[in-house]
Amino acid sequence: MESRKRASEKTNPHNQCLPKKYRQDQPTSSNKTISITIDGNHETTLNAVKEEIENQQDKEMLVCGKEGIKGYINLGIPEVSHMVITFSKTESEQREDKQAFGSQHQVCTDSIKFYIHAVGKRSERILKCRELHQEGKKLCVNGLKGESIKDTLRKDGRFNSFVESDHWKLISDLDTIIENTQPIDELEGKLFQVEVERKKCPQAANSTDLEKPSYYELKEYIVNKYPTLKRGSEKIRAYIKEESEIQSKKTSSFEMHKANFGKLTKNSTPTKVLKLLSQFSDSVGLIVWNNNGNEGYATCFVFKGLYVLTCMHVINDIVGKDIEQSKWAEKISQCTKVVFDYEEYLANEENCFSVESWFMIYDDTLDYALLKLEENEQQEPAGLFNGIAPVPSSGLIYVIGHPDIKQKRSDGCVLVSQDEHIQKRKAADDSDTTQYIYMYTQRSFQEKVREPGVSTWNNTFYCGSSGSPIFDSKGSLIAMHTAGFICEYESGVSSIIEFGCAIESIFNHIKTNHTTWYEKECANQ
């Protein structure tokens, strides 16, 4: 193990020998036999182990005791008589300053060994190694008698940054709480779970803000950056006007669409779909920002790993006007948080993620942007990208998001039928290959949608659900919500139609223009 030991000593600041007063008490292990299983081979020789460790220098070595000590260990614990060695893939999300596993701590007769569940009390990720974040796995922790719990976990080297704070404790037998300042003397052989206090999100909206009934109008300078908003609205307005003229002698087009919406959305939803939506909801987050008084909110969702997808016009709103694009990544990181469990008006404690200073994948035309969450002790939700599904031409679809900054909701929506009128216009416009979906939502057919002071409806866009994922009836991710606009029918009546960009268009743009990232993160999806 000498080569791994030398590498560990270089990278692990806690990998220090014990004071002399302990060394003389250490039992010798020169005659001890340790059985090692590596890659499933029980007949492993010492030379084979050395060779495998040399070949796997770019990976983390995970050592699990199977006899004597049962659980993942740091090397140097003499009670282990059989250990299984595996190697964890080095992940791009792990920090560059990660410490090597397998740090060799000296052990003396005054040492205390106890166990920690690999998963935190609220499913937090408490370990640096992602591969160990699984229910049922446990770590054997070794420290000196008289040492505090906090110091022992800090020196262990395998735990996340939460160990540097004071806001965590150990839980035993479901209800016994042990503060991290307590000595480890009485913990010998016992199993514990780490409970980390949830962080508060100071920028989260309060209940008064959430109850304000309003549509958040996109700023004019932002709208001017996105011709797709205008093109999309112009197409559907032309379609509605043409349809209204055809229907005028029969029945009101507005009433027909309103009745169809009510009919489709009042039908019962299959249990399978409800379960899928509930599962997907965990991956939908609220973006909150405060850039020197410029506050705002929008929706995002986990696309893959630590990467979240939202609208590019949301990013423009975050950074503000006249900011050099080279400074956007830093600005976004400084003032932006993402919250995934903000589901009720009066939720006081929020599980916030910070955003890394990373901004590389985006597009103005498709109005999308990827942000990267900072890794912390919390487990990020699962990614929602599950391959490409075709956009339906009609029927019921589902949006999950934070409309108008309210609590997280899952709404059934009805697609505006992509009939031959729209298809013909699409074919005539060879320059526009982007796929959009248009839909009626819960707020489309309200009695009064025209707001005071709005003189030109054609230039008014709303962003209450910007960045929300849209799913078809089978649970496939098909689009991302972009904006809403007022559409006038016959006799001056109007509704709000909302639309979004197809995930297929976004995915193809990423695949074509950001090949390296695509091959690393999505190629095997």
Indicate which residues carry an active-site annotation.
313, 367, 466
| Residues whose CB is less than 8 angstroms from the CB of residue 176 and which lie 6 or more positions away in sequence, other chains included | none
By C-alpha distance, which of 501, 500, 525 is closest to 511? 525
Q: Determine contact, residues 506/369, Cβ cutoff 8 Å.
A: no
CA–CA dist 443, 479 (Å, integer):
19
Q: Quick one: CA dihedral 56, 57, 62, 66, positive or negative?
A: positive
> Count of residues for the chain?
525
- What ranges in 267-348 are assigned the alpha helix state H? 271-281, 312-319, 328-335
The 10 Å Cβ neighbour count of residue 98 is 14
| Pairing label, strands 82-88, 35-38 | parallel
User: Distance of CA 229 to CAs 135, 460, 479, Å?
Assistant: 46, 10, 15
Q: Determine contact, residues 309/301, Cβ cutoff 8 Å.
A: yes
CA–CA dist 438, 473 (Å, integer):
16
Q: Quick one: CA dihedral 375, 381, 385, 391, positive or negative?
A: negative
By C-alpha distance, which of 241, 229, 216 is closest to 436? 229
What tokens were used for 388?
A: 């490409």
Name the CA dihedral angle for 115, 119, 120, 124, rounded to a multiple of 10 degrees.
150
CA–CA dist 43, 521 (Å, integer):
37
H/E element, 301:
strand 294-304
Q: Determine contact, residues 354/374, Cβ cutoff 8 Å.
A: yes
HSE-up of 64 (CA within 13 Å, CB side)?
Answer: 16
Burial degree of 44 (CB within 10 A; 0-12, 13-18, 19+): middle
Which DSSP symbol is given to 162?
G
Give CA 192 to chain center in angstroms: 27
Q: Quick one: CA dihedral 237, 239, 242, 248, positive or negative?
A: negative
CA–CA dist 140, 65 (Å, integer):
9
End-to-end CA distance of the chain: 37
Q: Determine contact, residues 503/477, Cβ cutoff 8 Å.
A: yes
H/E element, 100:
none
Q: Determine contact, residues 178/169, Cβ cutoff 8 Å.
A: yes
Q: Which residue has the tokens 């994922």?
A: 469
